[in-house]
């Protein structure tokens, strides 16, 4: 299969994720859009690794997946703590650093 298709798919996924981060106000949805952008970056890394015939892109993609898993754990814990205190997962309601 032509690697151009994978790159176009990765660009589409990244665009959808970026629009979701910029438009949506719910913290969970924004979180999922960030994950979508990370997966698009992983797809691009693996595609370029396959084009060049090396393993560097796949190794970097593996580390990105590890960082994304850690991000999910920490991010969901923060969102749950905010939801317990404010009863809302909206990004606009979070102003914890103002005072």
Q: pLDDT at residue 99 above 70?
A: no
Residue 92 forms part of a structural domain: no
Q: What is the pLDDT of residue 91?
A: 80
Residue 29 domain boundaries = 3-86
Residue 35 forms part of a structural domain: yes
State the virtual CA torsion across 7, 13, 16, 19 in degrees, nearest 10. Answer: -70
Q: What is the pLDDT of residue 35?
A: 92
Residue 24 forms part of a structural domain: yes
Residue 98 forms part of a structural domain: no
Q: pLDDT at residue 96 above 70?
A: no
In CATH, what number is assigned to the domain containing residue 59?
Answer: 1.10.287.3510
> Over the stretch 33-92, which tens digit does the pLDDT of each residue have?
999 999 999 999 999 999 998 888 899 999 999 999 998 999 899 888 888 888 888 887
Residue 61 forms part of a structural domain: yes
User: Model confidence at 29, in pLDDT bands (50, 70, 90)?
Assistant: very high
Instruction: Tokens 């005072």: give the residue.
Output: 99
d(C-alpha 4, C-alpha 31), whole Å: 28
Tally of domains in the chain: 1
Residue 99 forms part of a structural domain: no
Q: pLDDT at residue 32 above 80?
A: yes
Residue 95 forms part of a structural domain: no
Q: How far is CA 5 from CA 1, 26, 38, 55, 93, in A?
A: 8, 31, 18, 20, 40
């Amino acid at each position: 299969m032509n690697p151009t298709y994978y790159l176009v798919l990765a660009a589409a996924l990244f665009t959808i994720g970026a629009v979701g981060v910029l438009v949506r106000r719910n913290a969970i949805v924004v979180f999922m859009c960030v994950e979508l952008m990370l997966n698009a970056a992983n797809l691009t890394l693996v595609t370029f690794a396959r084009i060049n015939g090396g393993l560097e892109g796949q190794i970097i993609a593996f580390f990105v997946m590890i960082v994304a898993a850690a991000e999910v754990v920490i991010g969901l814990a923060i969102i749950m703590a905010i939801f317990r205190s404010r009863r809302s997962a909206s990004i606009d309601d979070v102003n914890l650093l103002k005072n």
